[in-house]
């Protein structure tokens, strides 16, 4: 019964919440649809966290997506031990990278007093949940090996059944609780999207294509002469 609530009901609740509240935020507070970067307050630590984080997390998400869209091709990729070992090592390395960088995001805001002042409760919730998610993923990759193979026979059929509006939780009900928590928490993050900075994932700056050019004048030299 618990598996039905967590993996057959909650995913739809999270997606509906994300869509409805995301649209509400778009029409009522469009200015907030950004990452609200704190780069001006502190850039050095942000660079070493943000750049590796985005490369690593995008590759991890892309791999998860490719398994679902091109299952036959993925089976061919993992069909030999050499390619399977390589995928496992690369996946684990990317997972550990996301753990380190997510930890760096949190440490940066804890150490910098100026950043703590502009960090909301939802920022802490989001950072903590992101760290939990990537830590769970890295743990699963490290302890329960060959996820490149069994993910295709467990999570992919479950996710496909959700898309067909016919949830089949038996595909993941036999998995270890750590893997199940990883899947559940993914939909928790989906539900958090409209309430946090994570909403910048679903916004595209297409207006940049037609907006007037922005002229920036560097006045540091003038300021120094005045000083």
22 and 194 Cβ atoms separated by less than 8 Å: yes
Task: Give the model confidence (pLDDT) of 198-216 as tens digits.
Answer: 887 777 665 555 666 666 6
Domains delineated in the chain: 2-226 (1.20.950.20)
pLDDT beneath 50, residues of the chain: none
What local confidence, expressed as pLDDT, does residue 226 receive? 58
Distance CA 211, CA 181 (A): 44
What local confidence, expressed as pLDDT, does residue 43 receive? 59
What local confidence, expressed as pLDDT, does residue 27 receive? 83
For the whole prediction, is pTM greater than 0.85? no
What local confidence, expressed as pLDDT, does residue 130 receive? 94
Residue located via tokens 């869509």: 19
What local confidence, expressed as pLDDT, does residue 131 receive? 95
């Amino acid at each position: 019964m618990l598996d039905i609530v967590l993996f057959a009901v909650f995913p739809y609740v999270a997606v509906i919440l994300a869509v409805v509240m995301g649209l509400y935020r778009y029409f009522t507070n469009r200015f907030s649809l950004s990452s609200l970067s704190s780069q001006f307050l502190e850039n050095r630590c942000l660079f070493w966290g943000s750049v590796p984080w985005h490369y690593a997390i995008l590759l991890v998400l892309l791999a998860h997506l490719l398994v679902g869209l091109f299952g036959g091709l993925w089976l061919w990729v993992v069909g030999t031990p050499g390619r399977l070992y390589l995928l496992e090592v690369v996946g684990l390395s990317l997972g550990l990278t996301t753990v380190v960088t997510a930890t760096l995001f949190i440490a940066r805001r804890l150490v910098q007093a100026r950043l703590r002042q502009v960090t909301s409760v939802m920022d802490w919730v989001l950072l903590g949940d992101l760290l939990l998610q990537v830590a769970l993923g890295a743990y699963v990759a490290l302890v329960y090996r060959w996820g490149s193979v069994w993910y295709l026979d467990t999570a992919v059929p479950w996710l496909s059944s959700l898309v067909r509006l016919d949830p089949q939780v038996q595909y993941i009900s036999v998995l270890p609780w750590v893997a199940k928590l990883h899947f559940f928490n993914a939909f928790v993050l989906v539900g958090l999207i409209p309430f946090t900075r994570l909403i910048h994932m679903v916004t595209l700056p297409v207006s940049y294509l037609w907006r007037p050019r922005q002229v920036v004048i560097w006045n540091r030299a003038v300021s120094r002469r005045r000083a």
